[in-house]
Structure 1
Amino acid sequence: MARRPRICVVTPSLDQAAWLGSTVESVLSQEGDFELAYRVQDGGSTDGSLELLDRYAGRLVLESGKDGGQADAVNRGLRAADADVVGWVNSDDLLRPGALARVAAAFRDDPGLLWVHGRCDIVDAADRPIRRWVAAYKDRRCRRYSYRSLLVENFVSQMTVFWRREAHERVGYLDAGLRYAFDYEFWLRLGALAPPRFIDAPQAAFRWYETSKSGASFERQFEEDWEAFRRHAPPGDRLLRWRKRARTAQIVGAYRLLRMLR
């Protein structure tokens, strides 16, 4: 990829006007040696999101209409993407300045690289950093990546992940039958082909609040997490299954404690 890479960012959204403007600005403000294509896949919002997006006419592609949920919306954007590198940023999350320039440089410098991820902050509804210890823990896990460690725990931050679009010819698209763990299940497919490169810089921010999917439904999320693990774990590896169960119990326990302390 000697020429300037073309990067497509997809944002799935449904009635997220409260956060959507910040997300869009964080994507469109990216600068660097790359071409940006930005697609917003709106599920038929009625909260003013479409009016907000009208302000960006000509700077992004908007598709609005009923879809089959978040994974289906992302898949629609990915299938339509005319780009070398793709990824998605949810409508309540943010890209950090310079994120796409670092992604472009990584793929340009290594023609064999399949996917990348990076550091991610956690912020609250007012964009204030929170749960720094969680972000630090994930950073440490990312630096010690192995496929087995990824099977045990999903430490990859979705909004930092970008991959070559051609990967879909090898691994397919997101499993729209999953509601919470479709990103993790996709990482496991990518990881089975090649390890990622970790970009040691703040690439994105994940917004955590009580009504977000992660904040409100983490028990169901980890049920799907186990299903994704079962699909890709080596059959008969009892030790790996024990490690997965133990780590999941620790994480769910921590989430429950945090919920009680709010």
Structure 2
Amino acid sequence: MVIPCYRYGDYLQACVRSVLDNQPSVDVRVLIIDDASPDDSAEKARAIAAADPRVEVRVHESNRGHIATYNEGLLEWADGDYTVLLSADDLLTPGALSRAASVLDANPDVGFVYGHPVHFNHPGPPPPARTGNGGHTVWPGRWWLERRFREATGCITSPEVVVRTDLQRKVGGYDPELPAAGDIEMWMRLAAYADVAYVRADQAYYRLHGSNMSQTDHASYLNDLRERRAAYDAVLEKCGRLLPDADRLDAMVRRRLARHALRRAVRAYDRGRTASVPEGELIAFAAECWPDYRALPEYRGLRLRRRIGPAVMPYLQPLVLTAIAAKGREWLWWQSWKRRGI
């Protein structure tokens, strides 16, 4: 268990206890890496380690950044069968390690296991965990990876993942060129080499607070799109030899990213936010990803909203959506009659 920490000393005790307590049938070692926190986080980490021999502490003299800290723990220190990277402000649910380890033990072709992450707001306590009935699903890694390319989004928060350590060493650490999208790139890279399992249970708690809440402003969303594109490009560069249909995957994700960008511009008209949304930059990004972006349904919707105008569109949105839905039903009706040969 690798727990990177930067100014999260107040959360450390609860984080470590969630790892060491209520995790039956697993032997756990913990490494806390304090990345030169300017507060008393290092002292709190050392106090935890002094009280429990299963806990070790490393303290950086200067800040190395989160990617270097992750890789130090995962590639230099971890030597158990399975590894977890858990931020100091997050928690594991009771039995999470036991459930994941049992799946990995029973399925040697599975490279990592994840489950449901429960998001909760700080400072409130996390809700009770749904620990499930032990059920799980195993997907072929290439199938799971293609699903990520098809959707162009991640489906993992991070603390809910348990990785087979030898596979982690095989694929390498987090990419320093992807400081904000390294997680999704890592999961896809692992899936290129091994199968993926999902435990039908709450596996971790992800704490929402001012330091980690996702940015929701429109500039941040555009940056997120760019970072996601870089992550998918990195996967194809590193794992392309393992993916015979790499060109198809590349086209798939670029088309989807273009649609995500255009959809953001569409929603700006629907919600009366065109003054704050960088429509031109979103369209430019869509064009970079998919030169034929004008043929995408989102662009047609954007053109319609431009004709209606940003001042009126928020009031007409329900009518526009109803008309589009009706047109879609009409098309489906016509196709059904064509299939009947009428």
**2:33 is the alignment partner of 1:41:** yes
**Equivalent position SS for 1:100:** helix
Q: Rg larger in 1 or in 2? A: 2
Separation of aligned partners in 1, 2:32 and 2:18: 13
Counterparts of 1:192 and 1:143, CA distance in 2: 12
- TM-score when scaled to structure 1? 0.79
- Paired residues for 1:5-154 under 5 Å: 9-56=1-48, 57=50, 58-65=53-60, 66-78=62-74, 79-128=76-125, 146-151=144-149, 152-154=152-154
Q: Conserved in 1, the CA contact under 8 Å of 2:178 and 2:230?
A: no
Classify 1:226/1:213 alpha carbon distance in 2 versus 1 (closer, same or farther; 3 Å): farther
Within 1, Cα distance between the matches of 2:110 and 2:8? 34
Structure 1: gaps spanning 5 or more residues: 1-8, 131-141
TM-score (norm 2): 0.62
Structure 2 CA distance for partners of 1:73 and 1:184, relative to 1, 3 Å: same
Shift of 1:75: 0.7
Shift of 1:170: 2.7
Distance 2:193 2:175 in 1: 18
Identity of aligned residues (%): 25
Could you tell me how far 1:120 is from its partner in structure 2?
A: 0.7
Residue 175 (structure 2) pairs with residue 175 (structure 1): yes
Kindly indicate whether the alpha-carbon contact (under 8 Å) linking 1:84 and 1:165 is maintained by their aligned counterparts in 2.
Answer: yes
| Greater fraction helix | 2
SS in 1 for 2:214: helix
Change over 3 Å in CA distance of 1:249–1:100 after alignment to 2: farther
Q: How big is the shift at 1:128?
A: 4.9
| RMSD (Å), alpha carbons | 2.9
Change (3 A) 1:239 1:176: closer
Moved more, 21-30 or 150-159: 21-30
Greater length-normalized contact order (CA 8 Å, ≥ 6 residues apart): 1
**1:226 pairs with one of 226, 229, 238:** 229
Q: Which runs of 5+ in 2 are unaligned?
A: 128-137, 237-245, 277-342
Determine the structure 2 residue equivalent to 1:211. 211
Superposed CA deviations along residues 135-189 of structure 1, whole A, max 9, x for unmatched, are xxxxxxx999732221221112211111111113431111123211111111111
**What is the count of residue pairs matched by the alignment?**
237
- Tell me which amino acid in the other structure corresponds to 1:15: R
